[in-house]
Structure 1
Amino acid sequence: MSTTLSMRQTPAHTIYRVLECRPDSYRDWLNQGHGLRDEGRYEEALTSYNRALDYKPHDFWALYWRADVLDALGQYSEALSSYDQALAEKPTDYWSWCQRATVLRELQRYEDAIASYDHALDTRPDDYWAWYNRGRVALEDLDWYKEAITSFEEALKLRPTDYWSWYRLGDAQRHLARYGEAIASYEKALETQPDDYWAWYRRGDSLRRWGCLEDALASYDRALEIKPTDPWSWYQRGEVLRKLGRYPEAVASYDQVLASDPDDEYAWYNQACCYALLGNQEGAIASLQAAIRLNPSEYLLAQTDSDFDHLRGHEPFAALLKG
């Protein structure tokens, strides 16, 4: 039995402070590391795991949990090294490969993270989380949209009603301009979470790009029922209404954008276009002035924009474009 300096009780465990240790005290150091890690005392836990490794340098569990606390401390390169050492002892450990992948993502080594998830899937080919997280790296970090689609489709074989896999599958399909498939995926996500703002918003984006403007408008309206002050949906709603020639409604939508973000140059400019098409010279000039104030290059765009053609003979408009 090892000799200890002190022993104190905590709500969850007993922590040992080891003074003189025989080689078999590895277990005390390991258990002390676990207790400290559970309390969020990662620096002290790291010391304990390192002491355990003094006695058993190739112990898988001490290497694995040391990597875990190094990750928690943000010491990602050191965590990666510790996971690699753990995997040298236990090459088929699923969790080590998965956690190693999360560390690689923090290090922005995204292709290596994909490879690490692939190793995890060699061990557990039917694991939802490895497929889902692999898909996230492919989608969000690498723009490997086809790879992402494959991963999310595999994840959905395991959890057919999973909201996040359907939503992110839709995102990957949308990026590839596969709008019909993306719309179907967002609708599957909405079956699980019918009041999710983002799925309605992205469904609207896909419908808009697919040319289904009335349906896109309905999708943005549904998003705004859930998040009434969101400038993104108001802006895209304005864009759809502008394309539909419903200029007064578009102006009102841009007003909603500008109530949230008065520095949105695009909302000011497009509102100016709508005012011009309505024959509202005063409104067009005021909105265009705001756009130019935020981005002086907007006057160059206005010089050739056909939306302003019937204002070109008016002195206030001409004066604005002269700067």
Structure 2
Amino acid sequence: MQEQTYQYYLNQKTVAAHYLEIGNLSKALEHFINAYQTPFGTEDLDLMLDLAFLYDEVEEPSKAIQLFYEMAKIDPEFPTSYYGLATIYDDNEDYDKAIYYYQKTIELDPNYESAHFFLANIYDELGQNTEAIYHYEKTIEIDPSYYYAYINLGCIYESEDKNLKAYHYFYRAHQVDPSDYMALFNLGVACRKLGQIKEAIRYYRKSLQSNPDYSFTYLNLAILYKEEFKDYQESIAIYTEGIKYNPEVSVLYYNRACCYALLHDKEAALEDIKISTKLSPSLIDYMKTDDELSEVRQMANYQLLYGND
């Protein structure tokens, strides 16, 4: 009888793994539960781990938490049970518990790079840069190809206006994945802040080649042409291209309106203002004090729409 039960347990695990591989989560869950409910399943940490992560994936986090706690009781030295708890609390923005369990994971396994990375993410979100930097650096030390650790480190240093350091980490990310648009975009940001305008343009344009859907690249590149060269026509061309890929992004219309206004094309500016404020009504208050739009605010059609403030 015990042999039959053991064979059933193995079969259920195999079938569950098959359904998981082909993406049928409900069937995978059914068979993992069947295997877990045998005497062998309640002692199988690998099975419990698969089942707990699957519960989390199908949005039953309370069941996942219960399993992770059970795993910690069976083997208090098994770091992934604490890591699993940390990820669920992290997803629910219960950062105190998430930090505690990420730290517990790292105590048991100092080379658990994902625990370092996501712990760094929390500290980053909380504005605790020193702690975030430490754990991002540990992530890179363990895995020198961890792309987003470089990106996030660069963003911290850029936010602190330490732009050479920011450039260094963005470039390291670019070396890990030369085609990814985010590293290229951030290199553009860092280069502009360092006064390397031609390099900034080059990186922004390469970023657009990699991902033409990212609206912030159009925004930053167009603003660069506007502010550095007073080339409003080129800015308009960039905004127009960005709008083609991002027709619902209000700031592209709004900033294009400002360029039209600077060229004294008030009618075109008003048309873009109408679209941008329809998409984002919160822009109306900002628009009413924007010096670049002062001529447009004198138009009768503008005043019919927005009043004479």
**TM-score (normalizing by structure 1):** 0.77
Deviations 1:100-125 (A, max 9, x none): 33333344433323322222222222
SS of residue in 1 equivalent to 2:37: helix
1:11 corresponds to which residue?
Answer: none
1:42 corresponds to which residue?
Answer: 29
The share of aligned pairs that are identical, in percent, is: 21
**Alpha-carbon distance in 2 for matches of 1:99, 1:321:** 53
| Cα distance change of structure 1 residues 240 and 70 upon mapping to structure 2, 3 Å threshold | same
1:24 corresponds to which residue?
Answer: none
**Alpha-carbon distance in 2 for matches of 1:156, 1:296:** 43
> Which 5+ residue runs of structure 1 have no aligned equivalent?
5-17, 19-26
| Cα distance change of structure 1 residues 64 and 101 upon mapping to structure 2, 3 Å threshold | farther
Deviations 1:117-136 (A, max 9, x none): 22222222233333234334
> How much has 1:314 moved relative to structure 2?
5.2
Indicate yes or no: 2:143 matched with 1:159.
Answer: yes
**Alpha-carbon distance in 1 for matches of 2:273, 2:71:** 62
**Alpha-carbon distance in 2 for matches of 1:152, 1:299:** 40
> How much has 1:318 moved relative to structure 2?
5.0
1:2 corresponds to which residue?
Answer: 2
1:221 corresponds to which residue?
Answer: 205
Structure 1 residues 162-171 or 248-257, which shifts more? Answer: 162-171
1:68 corresponds to which residue?
Answer: 50
**Alpha-carbon distance in 2 for matches of 1:248, 1:256:** 12
Output the amino acid matched with 1:38: A
Indicate yes or no: 2:252 matched with 1:267.
Answer: yes
**Alpha-carbon distance in 1 for matches of 2:88, 2:69:** 11
C-alpha contact (below 8 Å) 1:126/1:158 kept by paired residues: yes
SS of residue in 1 equivalent to 2:174: helix
**Alpha-carbon distance in 2 for matches of 1:290, 1:266:** 10
**Alpha-carbon distance in 1 for matches of 2:148, 2:111:** 18
> How much has 1:38 moved relative to structure 2?
1.8
1:243 corresponds to which residue?
Answer: 227
C-alpha contact (below 8 Å) 2:12/2:32 kept by paired residues: yes
Structure 1 residues 275-284 or 173-182, which shifts more? Answer: 173-182
Aligned partner (choices 176, 201, 218) of residue 192 of structure 1: 176
**Alpha-carbon distance in 1 for matches of 2:35, 2:8:** 5
C-alpha contact (below 8 Å) 1:276/1:311 kept by paired residues: yes
1:120 corresponds to which residue?
Answer: 105
Aligned partner (choices 26, 33, 39) of residue 52 of structure 1: 39
Aligned partner (choices 305, 308, 323) of residue 290 of structure 2: 305
| Cα distance change of structure 1 residues 288 and 132 upon mapping to structure 2, 3 Å threshold | closer
Structure 1 residues 299-308 or 264-273, which shifts more? Answer: 299-308
C-alpha contact (below 8 Å) 1:231/1:256 kept by paired residues: no
Query: Considering only aligned residues, what root-mean-square deviation do their CA atoms show, in Å?
Result: 3.1
Deviations 1:221-260 (A, max 9, x none): 1211222354331122122222222211111111112222
| Cα distance change of structure 1 residues 267 and 164 upon mapping to structure 2, 3 Å threshold | closer
**Alpha-carbon distance in 2 for matches of 1:107, 1:29:** 36
Number of residues of Structure 1 aligned to a counterpart in Structure 2: 296
Larger gyration radius, structure 1 or structure 2: 1
Structure 1 residues 308-317 or 112-121, which shifts more? Answer: 308-317
**Alpha-carbon distance in 1 for matches of 2:298, 2:7:** 88
Structure 1 residues 271-280 or 63-72, which shifts more? Answer: 63-72
C-alpha contact (below 8 Å) 2:106/2:115 kept by paired residues: yes
| Cα distance change of structure 1 residues 64 and 97 upon mapping to structure 2, 3 Å threshold | farther
Output the amino acid matched with 1:34: K
Output the amino acid matched with 1:271: R
Structure 1 residues 208-217 or 100-109, which shifts more? Answer: 208-217
**TM-score (normalizing by structure 2):** 0.80
Output the amino acid matched with 1:238: A
Indicate yes or no: 2:78 matched with 1:93.
Answer: yes
Deviations 1:169-209 (A, max 9, x none): 22333444544322221111111222211111123334456
C-alpha contact (below 8 Å) 2:32/2:47 kept by paired residues: no
Structure 1 residues 267-276 or 212-221, which shifts more? Answer: 212-221
C-alpha contact (below 8 Å) 1:46/1:66 kept by paired residues: no
